[in-house]
């Protein structure tokens, strides 16, 4: 008897030791097909380098519906892994619905002041259904710096809650690591807009810059007054030049790219807007001569001489009659304002809402001798076509029902990312004047770039915001005044693109992670419910009964002898 007690105590002792050791060491084995519990190398590298305390407060806690419990648990598991990699990353979960009514209201007001609004969900409380507000957010803090991370993806029309929650889980790693990086990064990257050639004015990009300033410094430079764009400019944005960009300015931008600079080009092919179309019975757009075509060709892209039309587009108002002295207005799809969709699975456009652009053109990939990678980021729908220059624009097309068979050119690329080692546009053609410019800054001509990134978009208006001088109010980026709604994808696309441009760790790799959602076939489950109940409940009982019978039979024979 004492020997058995010793064996029991030894087993219990081993279990206690294992549990104590497990509390100090976190590890797991990821056997899932999509490696959903494995962090990307870029995330691990960044977290390992954190040398200061990061505190993450998560508000997704308490009595939650099953889908949100999954999101909460996935967040908890990921933060535990962050902490196991680097103890400087600490976290806690808070339930804003705790306490009496007065405390809950006070908490809600405090969260509202920092921009957190609840998401309403329905949960079963005993026999009744209850509506409850939850906060699917995390706040990442480092000293006096903080950023808000939305753990829940945007609700989209026609997309099920299960799919939205699945996308939210798949985006957790990117969102949390990106939030940590933004508060931990000691210096804000600089996003610089060019001026001097008719580009968008500061007041026209005010909303975008206001959004960026939480984690970036923004500013403007006039290319005519410079000899060089230094490395202090992390991203250069050329936003809708109206005039020809002089060769000297092109040379400055070219050498900025050759030295590792990243550029976002927002280039419109034609002078055209709705007012010009409405003013005449028909309107022929006039080309914008920016002088950049040959330069872009060297960098691996070409802006075609066309305008893209798409059946999937935003709407504009038109007067269709008169009633009681008042004009009757109806809204029509304006095919020249396409609603673009993701052209690939690239991190910039993953889970992105539609982007509304105005009078875009097709961007083509050009094969070059350089080692370049082309990625189509935004495309029109499959129901697209284009008009080649010279084209006639008028509102007559709105009088007739659209014929889908005529929109037969397929998806047209409107935004293209090019990455790799670029050849200088001025290779083998550097003038004495250019050499003189380099001599003034004690610099050498660079004819081939280090690994770099350039983004080409055939519209600039999609980042423009309206400004009311009377109220001093700035509209949101992507705001459509006729539909009275803002296309959120416009702002998100630019922010994602800039984040990607300055991402030295490659954190965007985590944004590409896909977690497969294996949804239950409810119809089949209902039809076969009796069978599976038998498999899960009846069959184990049968096996247990058979085992008992065999055991009794063997026991009886043994003692009978």
Lowest mean pLDDT among 354-358, 425-429, 444-448, 543-547: 543-547
- What whole-number distance in Å separates Cα of residue 13 and Cα of residue 109? 51
pLDDT of res. 27:
55
Report whether pLDDT(416) > 80.
yes
Nearest residue to 467 (alpha-carbon basis) of 203, 200, 271, 158: 203
Contact assessment for residue 298 and residue 280, using Cβ atoms and an 8 Å cutoff: no
pLDDT of 31 reads: 45
Cα angle 242, 247, 248 (rounded to 5 degrees) comes to: 110
Domain 35-184 has CATH 3.40.30.10: yes
- 431: tokens are 């003038």
What is the C-alpha to C-alpha distance for residues 306 and 316, in angstroms, rounded to an integer? 21
**pLDDT band at residue 438 using 50, 70 and 90 as cut-offs:** confident
Report the pLDDT averaged over residues 59-85: 89
CA 299 to chain centre: 25
Residue 406 φ/ψ region, left for φ over 0, alpha for ψ in the -120 to 50 degree band, beta for the rest: alpha
Cα torsion through 296, 301, 303, 307, rounded to 10: -160
Q: What pLDDT, on the 0 to 100 scale, is given for residue 433? A: 80
> What confidence tens digit (pLDDT) does each residue in 16-65 have?
776 666 555 555 554 455 555 578 888 888 899 888 899 999 998 888 88
Task: Report the predicted TM-score, pTM, of the whole model to 2 decimal places.
Answer: 0.80
Give the residue carrying structure tokens 């050791």: 21
3-state DSSP assignment of residue 149: strand
Residue 123's pLDDT is 65
Mean pLDDT of 379-400: 92
pLDDT at 4: 62
pLDDT (0 to 100) of residue 237? 97
Which are the contacts of 299, defined by CB distance < 8 A and separation ≥ 6? Answer: 257, 368, 418, 422, 425, 454
Give the pLDDT mean for 206-212: 95
How high is the mean pLDDT of the chain?
86
Percent of the chain whose predicted confidence (pLDDT) is above 70: 88
Instruction: Yes or no: say if 295 and 257 are a contact pair by the CB < 8 Å rule.
Output: no
Instruction: Tell me the pLDDT tens digit for each residue of 314-353.
Output: 999 988 777 777 888 889 999 999 999 998 889 899 888 9
Query: What's the pLDDT tens digit per position in 215-273?
Result: 899 999 998 888 889 888 999 999 999 999 999 999 999 999 999 999 999 999 999 98
Residues with Cβ within 8 Å of residue 525, at least 6 apart in sequence? 532
Mean pLDDT, to the nearest integer, of 382-411? 92
Residue 232 CA, distance from chain mean position: 25
Of 235 and 523, the one with more pLDDT: 235
What's 410-440 look like in SS3?
A: CCCEEEEEEEECCECCCCCCCCHHHHHHHHH
C-beta neighbour count of 163 within 10 angstroms: 14
pLDDT of residue 118: 85
Count the residues in the chain. Answer: 561
pLDDT at 369 > cutoff 90: no
* Predicted local distance difference test score (pLDDT) of residue 328: 84
Tokens of 158: 């026609």
Q: Quick one: pLDDT at residue 315?
A: 94
**Least-confidence region, from 80-84, 149-153, 420-424:** 149-153
What are the pLDDT digits (tens) for 135-184? 899 999 988 888 899 988 876 666 677 788 888 888 888 889 988 988 88
Higher pLDDT, residue 34 or 546: 546
């Amino acid at each position: 008897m004492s020997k058995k007690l010793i064996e029991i105590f030894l087993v219990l002792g081993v279990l206690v030791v294992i549990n104590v050791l497990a509390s100090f060491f976190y590890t797991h084995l990821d056997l899932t097909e999509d490696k959903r519990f494995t962090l990307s190398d870029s995330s691990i590298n960044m977290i390992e380098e954190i040398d200061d305390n990061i505190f993450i407060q998560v508000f997704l806690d308490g009595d939650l519906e099953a889908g949100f419990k999954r999101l909460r648990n996935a967040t908890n598991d990921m933060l535990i892994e962050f902490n196991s990699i680097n103890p400087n990353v600490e976290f806690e979960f808070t339930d804003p619905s705790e306490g009496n009514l007065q405390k809950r209201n006070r908490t809600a007001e405090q969260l509202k002041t920092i921009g957190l609004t609840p998401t309403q969900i329905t949960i079963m409380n005993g026999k009744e259904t209850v509506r409850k507000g939850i906060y699917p957010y995390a706040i990442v803090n480092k000293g006096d710096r903080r950023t808000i991370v939305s753990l829940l993806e945007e609700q989209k029309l026609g997309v099920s809650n299960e799919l939205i929650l699945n996308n939210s889980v798949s985006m957790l790693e990117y969102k949390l690591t990106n939030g940590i990086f933004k508060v931990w990064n000691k210096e804000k990257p600089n996003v610089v807009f060019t001026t001097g050639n008719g580009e968008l004015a500061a007041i026209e990009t005010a909303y975008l810059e206001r959004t960026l300033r939480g984690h970036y410094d923004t500013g403007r430079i006039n290319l005519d007054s410079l000899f060089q764009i230094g490395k202090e400019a992390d991203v250069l944005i050329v936003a809708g030049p109206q005039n020809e960009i002089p060769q000297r300015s092109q040379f400055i931008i070219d050498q900025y790219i050759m030295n590792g600079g990243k550029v976002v080009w927002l280039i419109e092919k034609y002078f055209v807007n709705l007012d010009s179309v409405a003013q005449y019975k028909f309107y022929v757009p006039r080309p914008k001569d920016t002088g950049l075509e040959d330069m872009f060709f060297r960098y691996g892209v070409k802006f075609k001489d066309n305008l893209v039309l798409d059946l999937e587009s935003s709407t504009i108002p038109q007067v269709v009659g008169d009633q009681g002295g008042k004009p009757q207005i109806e809204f029509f799809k304006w095919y020249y304002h396409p609603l673009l969709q993701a052209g690939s699975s690239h991190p910039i456009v993953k889970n992105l809402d539609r982007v509304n652009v105005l009078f875009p053109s097709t961007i083509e990939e050009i094969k070059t001798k350089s080692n370049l990678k082309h990625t189509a980021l935004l495309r029109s729908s499959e129901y697209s076509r284009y008009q080649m220059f010279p084209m006639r624009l008028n509102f007559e097309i709105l009088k007739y029902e659209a014929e889908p068979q005529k929109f037969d050119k397929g998806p047209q690329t409107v935004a293209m990312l090019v990455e790799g080692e670029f050849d200088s546009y001025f290779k083998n053609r550097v003038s004495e004047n250019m050499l003189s410019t380099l001599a003034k800054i004690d610099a050498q001509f660079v004819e081939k770039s280090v690994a770099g990134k350039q983004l080409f978009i055939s519209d600039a208006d999609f980042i423009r915001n309206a400004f009311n001088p009377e109220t001093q109010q700035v509209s949101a980026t992507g705001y459509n005044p006729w539909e009275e709604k803002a296309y959120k994808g416009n702002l998100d696309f630019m922010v994602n693109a800039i984040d990607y441009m300055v991402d030295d760790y490659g954190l965007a790799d985590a944004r590409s992670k896909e977690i497969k959602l294996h949804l239950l076939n409810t119809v089949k489950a209902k039809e076969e419910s009796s069978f599976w109940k038998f498999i899960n409940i009846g069959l184990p009982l049968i096996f247990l009964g058979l085992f008992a019978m065999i055991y009794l039979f063997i026991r009886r024979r043994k003692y009978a002898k």
